[in-house]
Amino acid sequence: MRTAPFADRRAAGRALAARLAGTLPGDAVVLGLPRGGAVVAAEVAAVLDLPLDVLLVRKLGLPGQPELAMGAVAAVGDTVETVRTDRVLAAAAVDDATFAGVRDRELAELHRRAAAYRGSRAPVAVAGRTVVLVDDGLATGATVRAALQALAQQRPARTVVAVPVASSGALHEVGALADEVVSLLVPPSFRAVGAAYRDFAQTSDDEVRDLLRSAAPEL
């Protein structure tokens, strides 16, 4: 991608909503992966007039290379799921104690964000419904795989992963867990999620909280 196709996450969300329009049942719910994915998800939910919530997930960054996911941890209700990216762990020779230490730290941050984003508000119910799981892109797919495994314990009727951009490898791995995967772009030489955006500024906790407060009410 020589020129970033999306102005920002909001523009990407509107484009994603246009792709999904007419394909979802009326009781569908949109779940964004904070932080950046929540911005994309908010646009999808607003355009399609669907309830919005977040599914809390944290990438487990490789020590010394925190942007490279060696796994992820996700929580839905009382269910916590951990995913390991075996090829990264093997290449970096990460031992179990190091992995566990990173997991524990990120799990604590996940619980902090749950309190910051929702407060006392209960999560949107997903059992028996179509769930559209939205992120701002898929690189390794580890975070979305963890999210899908946690989500499966809540017994949704159908899971659709929707992203503006993804690597072909991540699509393959995520596709093994989701009922459907939608990606607007699959670059032949994927570099990074941020390469698809002209503005890829970090999203704050306050922005995510405000998105949830202004979202359409639960059905």
For the beta carbon of residue 215, count every other beta carbon within 10 angstroms.
20
> Where does the pLDDT of residue 49 fall: very low under 50, low under 70, confident under 90, or very high at 90 and above?
very high
Helical axes 96-118 vs 205-213, angle rounded to 10°: 50
Domains of the chain, residue spans: 9-213
More confident residue, 182 or 189: 182
- State both tokens at 82: 């951990």
pLDDT on residue 32: 95
| pLDDT tens profile 73-93 | 888 767 788 888 888 899 999
| pLDDT tens profile 117-167 | 877 777 888 999 999 999 999 988 888 888 898 888 889 999 999 999 999
> What's the mean pLDDT when you consider all of the chain?
90
For the beta carbon of residue 193, count every other beta carbon within 10 angstroms.
21
What percent of the chain clears pLDDT 90, i.e. is strictly above it? 60
| pLDDT tens profile 90-105 | 999 999 999 999 999 9
What percent of the chain clears pLDDT 70, i.e. is strictly above it? 96
Say yes or no to pLDDT of 215 above 80: no
Residue where the block lists tokens 């503006």? 164
DSSP assignment of 90-126: HHHT--HHHHHHHHHHHHHHHHHHHHHHHTTPPPPP-
For the beta carbon of residue 68, count every other beta carbon within 10 angstroms.
18
Q: CA 183, CA 199: separation in Å to the nearest integer?
A: 19
- For the domain made up of 9-213, the CATH class stated in words is alpha beta
List the strands of the sheet with 52-54, edge to edge.
52-54, 29-32, 130-134, 158-165, 180-185
More confident residue, 122 or 56: 56
- Kindly report whether the global pTM for this prediction surpasses the value 0.75: yes
Say yes or no to pLDDT of 218 above 70: no
More confident residue, 4 or 2: 4
